[in-house]
A and B are shown apart, each in its own frame.
Chain A
Amino acid sequence: MPEHDVLIIGAGLAGQRAAVAAAREGVSVAIMSKVHPVRSHSVAAAGGINAAISPQDDWRSHAFDTVKGSDYLGDQDAIEIMCKEAPGEVMHLEHIGVTFHRNEHGELDLRPFGGASMNRTAYVADITGQAMLHVLYEQLMKHSSTVERFEEWFTTSLIIDDDGACVGAVARDVRSGRMETFIAKNVILATGGCGQAYLPTTNGLIVTGDGMALAYRAGAPLMDMEMVQYHPTCLVDHGFLITEGARGEGAHLVNKEGERFMGRYAPNKLELASRDVVSRAEQTEINEGRGVGPGGRGVYLDITVVPRKRTLEALREIVNIGRDFAGVDITREPIVIRPGQHYIMGGVKTDADGRTPVTGLYAAGEVACVSVHGGNRLGANSLLDTLIFGRRSGEHAAARARAIAMPAVSDAALHRDTEMIEEIVARPHTGRRIGEIKLELGTTMNDHVAVFRDEQGLTRAHEVVLRLREEAQTAAIDDRGTVFNQDVLGAIELGYMLDCAETIVVAALERKESRGAQYRTDYPERNDAEWLKHIDISRGGDDRPKVSYSPVTITQWQPEERKY
């Protein structure tokens, strides 16, 4: 059984940053991912990373914008840490090789972004996430003697000892089908979000909420799960993302009547209001019959107002996406977009060092909820979140590892998970297909747990999710093999997604107000007196979600009305 001081599950930006940070502290590190690290969904982050690095800027301004963006649900102590440490982190990335765009003085260029009071977003064209992820992977290759990589290993469960501490994980080598117990003094979850519980979504097929479900099953609470971000600019059919950088560079949103409608919703920031505000505005235009495209299901994003040379240089990827997936030359004509599921602000509850309430278990990045995003994340704050809290988790876990002994772990969990997989492989072909269940889950969530929500729709979604949980128990698979049996992994992932979906729906039903991404048409006002608090969801003994609350930390910014 492999033993490590720090085991990191997930190798996107948060996981890789944690690995490099922990290795630097001189402890033994393993990083495990169900895909090759550069396939992680951080690769799709386009627009950039926020940091107050301009001499005219101040981290407090960044922090205030983030607090306001969160609709005051973000924990201000954690937000202060993130924004204060942001410039140093961006410089570190620059030093290890990220090819950030420069201004004419050779310094990092900064572009405007949604919800930000000044230009604060450093970027690499519109492939910022890809550039960062690949540069961090360069660092993993460089440190290959100190960071052991387990690429294409799928985690089936966390191991919890008798005292309730996390002491490792069970995983399956996707290539060989071999099961293995990984003993670790600390485990850091960095598995990203759960966007595949929605359809369509901007998220990749691998984004199935693995870490959230693993933690939830291990007894860790999930927080702010009702806060699901709909990105304002996604392709109507596929749900592919058009970066917020497009609006940062000056693109307009236009309705059927040719009106640049954001003036009615956010008179000051217009298209660069926060994402929840812009998505609601678009959805209102669509619902009120001012949409465009087939069925009036979208609105125009007009990038032709950006100089063509600038678009080709700084928005190259969406030029490709427009051409390849919508047949539109975005430099010459508007493209039809709509809001689409993109990100979840909620996740495994952690403190600012990434610690969850389960001893020895950390979480960082989208899987975690620190909470720095509260009710709504600002664009270009997620890359920052992954790096700051990835690094802090790695450092803290390394320090903790030095103080404790390697735990002794039995192979009970290994046997249980091996049997679980054998049971799935042996299922008779009587149940529904996994793909059908996933399709019903995704469309249900997108219909009822989206930009606008109400009691009736949420209750309906809850019923569907509970029924699908039952059906998933007997979902049949075709692949009986061991080498790259993606079918059996799909069955396990379906269970992870359903756990996440259930907690999302339960939290959204619970919060009877409108704040950030949660807009209840039956409770359309923000209600600070009753709901300025986090909803925590833990797994009860009956395998049903148990709701509790925790306070929001306020340091220097009292809640006020939110206008853009």
Chain B
Amino acid sequence: MAEFTLRLRRFDPESGEPPYWDEHTIELEPHRSVLEAILQARGRFDGSIGIRCSCRSAICGSCGVRINGQPGLACHTHLDEALARSKDGTIVVEPMGNMPVIKDLIVDMDAVHWKKVHSVTPWLLGKEPVPEREYLVDREAMVDVTQSMACIQCGACVSDCLAMEVDPEFTGPAALAKAYRFVGDPRDSEHEERLRYLAEDPHGLYTCTHCFKCVDACPKGVNPMGQIMRLRRIAGSDHHIEDRNNGYRHEHAFVENIRRNGLLHEADLLPDSYGGKFHPRAVPELIASMPVAIRGMLRGKITLPKALLHPHKASKELRAIFEKVEGKSQRYELNLYVSGTDADNDDPAPEAATTNAEGSA
């Protein structure tokens, strides 16, 4: 047994008072969870502490919170781990972000999370005719979509999504991972329509900024950002959807920019994303970005020589990486469920998948 101090963010919507902090000291073994600590505080000291919870084993998805500023499940965080990450020796528990607080640690997931899930047509639009028995589909494809199926809708990824903080209308990591579950499902008949909808949405596929917050937050290894990137690759490379948000062209320009320069040459990136400096599409965009460019020049962040001459060239090593990745007949897909690390396994999986499985094990 050890003593832990919990500092809980409380909010009583009926009191008319702002949120406040509430401290409790509890006794538990260090490998017990933060949820058990909260329940002990509730059981012994204050029955009015509000938190949704049920399974205690990270499968029902009820107890999403922020612990010492990190989003996750209260039942899935050990007390000793939480203490190790604490700044001042107390374990700070707050409601998740990006969603309105109803009471204490309980947030309104309907208003944000479920609304977004609903926006991606979250049900299978099965191919016709429906077979008498099961759809015959590739074994690996079903294992693959099981990764996004493993999402428990806890909202941890939504809580700290930076893109959603800036653009509250962003579809977000959980809903887009859900979308992949259908786009990756060979039984679904509307892959192209789904992708087009997500790509053309100004708050959709291309709003993600690759910040990795959702990857860190997810307690189930769903890797929402990875699913978003896969949606982009399928939309761009397989379905050639050149979206009106210039998302696909921007990604393409980014890769080409790195291939050419080794380091990012930002002055080229923007025009290249619209098809080059003299492309009709680029002109209005370049004019629109002039104020930013002028401010950059005034502050010395952009200088004419830097903008026009980019001395850096891609190194041999970098070119080798490009050759290796592009030389593969199949794209690398990172998926926890498609894994292989067994020495006695005759069928070794691609090295990328291996690395991923090891990293998580």
Task: Mark A residues whose CB is within 8 Å of B.
Answer: 35-36, 38-41, 43-44, 53, 91, 94-97, 99-109, 124-125, 127, 130-131, 134-135, 138-139, 141-142, 151, 175, 204-207, 238, 240-241, 307-309, 312-313, 316-317, 319-321, 323-325, 327, 329, 331, 433-436, 477-487, 490
Residue pair B57, A44 in contact (C-beta under 8 Å): yes
A-B contact pairs, 16 of them (CB 8 A): A38-B153, A39-B61, A95-B135, A96-B123, A99-B145, A101-B146, A107-B136, A131-B146, A240-B57, A312-B339, A324-B78, A434-B43, A478-B46, A483-B103, A484-B106, A485-B48
CB contacts under 8 Å to A, within B52-86, are 52-62, 76, 78
Residue of A101, A135, A482 touching B139 (CB-CB under 8 A): A101
A172 CA / B57 CA spacing, docked (Å): 28
Asked if A101 and B142 make an inter-chain contact with CB atoms under 8 angstroms apart, the answer reads yes
Q: Roughly how many angstroms separate A188 CA and B200 CA in the complex, as a whole number?
A: 43
Tell me if A205 and B54 are in contact (CB < 8 A): yes
Query: With A96-B124, A307-B345, A312-B361 in contact, do A43 and B142 touch (Cβ < 8 Å)?
Result: no
Q: Mark B336-357, 1 if CB is under 8 A from A, else 0.
A: 1111111011000000000001
A471 nearest CB across to chain B (Å)? 16
Complex: how many Å from CA A109 to CA B149? 18
Q: Is the CB of A127 within 8 A of B342?
A: no
The answer to whether A124 touches B146 (Cβ under 8 A) is yes
The residue on B at minimum CB distance from A102 is B139
Shortest distance in angstroms between A33's beta carbon and chain B's nearest beta carbon? 12
Q: How far is the CA of A80 from the CA of B13 in the complex (A)?
A: 53
Which of B14, B57, B61 has the largest count of A CB atoms less than 10 A from its CB? B57
Q: Tell me whether A102 and B142 are in contact (CB under 8 A).
A: yes
Question: Measured between alpha carbons, how far is A96 from B187 in the docked complex, in Å?
Answer: 10
Q: Which residue of A lies closest to B145 (CB)?
A: A99
In the complex, A241→B152 CA distance in Å?
17
Closest beta carbon of chain A to B193's beta carbon, Å: 16
Stretch with Cβ within 8 A of A (4 or more), from B126-134, B251-259, B274-282, B305-313: B126-134
User: Within 8 Å CB of B131, what residues of A?
Assistant: 95
Q: How far, in angstroms, from A109 to B345 measured CA to CA in the complex?
A: 20
Partner of A94, one of B135, B145, B361: B135
Q: Are A316 and B153 in contact (CB under 8 A)?
A: no
Contacts of B138 in A (CB 8 A): 102, 106
CA distance A40 to B55 in the complex (A): 9
Known A-B contacts A141-B118, A205-B54, A308-B341; the reply to A313 vs B143 at CB < 8 A is yes
Q: Which of B76, B150, B153, B220 has the most chain A CB atoms inside 10 A of its CB?
A: B150
A100, B102: Cα distance in complex, Å: 37
Cβ-defined partner of A138 (8 Å) among B61, B124, B342, B361: B124
B47: Cβ under 8 A from any A Cβ: yes
Inter-chain contacts of B142 with A (CB < 8 A):
99-102
Binary contact track B182-209/A, C-beta < 8 Å → 1, others 0: 0001010000000000000000000000
- Is B31 among interface residues, defined by CB-CB distance under 8 A? yes
> Taking CB as reference atom, which chain A residue is nearest B73?
A324
Residue of B13, B43, B46 near A483 (CB, 8 A) is B13
Cβ contact within 8 Å between A105 and B135: no
CA distance A35 to B137 in the complex (A): 35
Evaluate whether A487 and B149 lie within 8 angstroms (CB atoms) in the complex, with A312-B357, A312-B361, A320-B58 already known: no
Residues in chain A near residue B102, CB distance under 8 A: 175, 483-484
Q: If A101-B143, A238-B56, A320-B58 touch, does A106 touch B136 (CB 8 Å cutoff)?
A: yes
- B361:A329 contact, CB within 8 angstroms: yes
Choose one: B135, B139, B150, B339; the contact of A309 (CB below 8 Å): B339
| A434 / chain B contacts, CB cutoff of 8 Å | 43, 47
Q: Is the CB of B60 within 8 A of A43?
A: yes
Establish whether residues B339 and A41, one from each chain, have CB atoms under 8 Å apart when the complex forms: no
A207 to B56, CA, bound (A): 12
In the complex, chain A residues whose CB is within 8 Å of the CB of B339: 309, 312-313
Q: Please, how many residues of chain B have a CB less than 8 angstroms from a CB on the other chain?
A: 71
**Chain A residues, Cβ within 8 Å of B60:** 38-41, 43-44, 204
Do A325 and B52 touch (CB < 8 A)? no
Check B123–A325 contact: CB distance below 8 A.
no
Q: Which of A125, A240, A307 contacts B56 (CB 8 A)?
A: A240
Contact A308 B345, beta carbon cutoff 8 Å: yes
Q: Taking each of A44, A107, A125, A484, which has the highest tally of chain B beta carbons within 10 Å of its own beta carbon?
A: A484
Residues of B within 8 A of A479 (CB): 47-48
Residue of A nearest to B143 (CB): A313
- Chain A residues with Cβ below 8 Å from B134 are 91, 94-95, 100, 107-108
Q: Which residue of B lies closest to A151 (CB)?
A: B110
Which partner residue on chain A sits nearest B54 by CB separation? A204
Q: Answer whether residue B301 sits at the interface, using C-beta atoms and an 8 A cutoff.
A: no
A300 to chain B, nearest CB (A): 20
Q: Which residue of B lies closest to A321 (CB)?
A: B57
> Complex: how many Å from CA A451 to CA B152?
33
Q: How far is the CB of A538 from chain B (nearest CB, A)?
A: 30
Write out, one digit per residue, whether chain B residues 245-289 have a CB within 8 A of any chain A CB (1) or not (0).
000000000000000000000000000000000000000000000
Closest-by-CB residue of B relative to A203 is B55
Evaluate contact between A127 and B149: CB separation under 8 angstroms.
Answer: yes
- Bound-complex Cα distance A103 to B117 (A): 31
- Quick one: given A35-B52, A130-B59, A138-B123, are A313 and B153 in contact (CB under 8 Å)? no
Give min CB distance, B134 to chain A, whole Å.
5
**Contact of A327 with B345 in the complex, beta carbons under 8 Å:** no
Which residues on B sit within 8 Å (CB–CB) of A325? 57
A100 / chain B contacts, CB cutoff of 8 Å: 134, 142
The interface residues of chain B lying within 8 Å CB-to-CB of A127 are 59, 146, 149-150
- A324 B342 Cβ-Cβ under 8 A: no
Q: Which of B48, B132, B149 is the one whose CB lies under 8 Å from A481?
A: B48
Contacts beyond the supplied A44-B55, A131-B149, A317-B59: 16 A-B pairs with Cβ under 8 Å: A35-B52, A39-B61, A43-B152, A91-B134, A95-B135, A99-B185, A100-B142, A127-B149, A130-B150, A135-B124, A205-B55, A240-B57, A327-B31, A478-B47, A485-B48, A487-B47
For B228, list chain A residues within 8 Å (CB): none
Residues of B within 8 A of A95 (CB): 126, 130-131, 134-135
Given A101-B143, A102-B137, A478-B47, decide whether A238 and B57 contact each other with a Cβ distance below 8 A. yes
Give A45's nearest chain B residue, CB to CB: B59
- Collect the chain A residues with CB atoms within 8 Å of residue B337's CB: 125, 312-313, 316
The CA-CA distance from A205 to B181 in the complex, in Å, is 29
- Asked if B53 and A205 make an inter-chain contact with CB atoms under 8 angstroms apart, the answer reads yes
- Which A-chain residue is minimally distant from B132 (CB atoms)? A91
Which residues of A sit under 8 angstroms from B126, Cβ to Cβ? 95-97
**Contacting residues, chain B, for A142 (C-beta < 8 A):** 123
A186 CA / B146 CA spacing, docked (Å): 37
B104 CB contacts on chain A under 8 angstroms: 484
A175 to B111, CA, bound (A): 13
Shortest distance in angstroms between B118's beta carbon and chain A's nearest beta carbon? 6
Q: Is the CB of B54 within 8 A of A139?
A: no
Contact status A44-B59, CB under 8 Å? yes
Q: How far is the CA of A433 from the CA of B39 in the complex (A)?
A: 13
Given contacts A312-B341, A313-B143, A324 and B54 within 8 Å (CB-CB):
no
Contact A206 B54 (CB under 8 A): yes
Please give me the 4 A-B residue pairs with the lowest Cβ-Cβ distance, nearest first: A435-B43, A97-B124, A479-B48, A478-B47
Query: A433 to chain B: which residues have CB within 8 Å?
Result: 43-44, 47
A487 to B122, CA, bound (A): 34
Bound form: Cα–Cα A396–B98 in Å: 43
Q: Tell me the smallest distance from the CB of B46 to a CB of chain A, in Å.
A: 6
- B146 — which chain A residues lie within 8 A by C-beta? 99, 101, 124-125, 127, 131
Docked complex: B204-225 residues within 8 A CB-CB of A: 220-221
Q: With contacts A43-B60, A312-B341 known, is A124 near B124, CB below 8 A?
A: no
B residues less than 8 Å from A478 (CB atoms): 46-48
Q: Are A204 and B145 interface neighbours, CB within 8 A?
A: no
Decide yes or no whether B109 CB sits under 8 A from chain A: yes
Q: How far is the CA of A348 from the CA of B340 in the complex (A)?
A: 47
Q: Which residues of A contact B43 (CB under 8 A)?
A: 433-436
Least CB separation from A142: chain B residue: B123
Q: Which of A124, A238, A486 sits near B149, CB closer than 8 Å?
A: A124
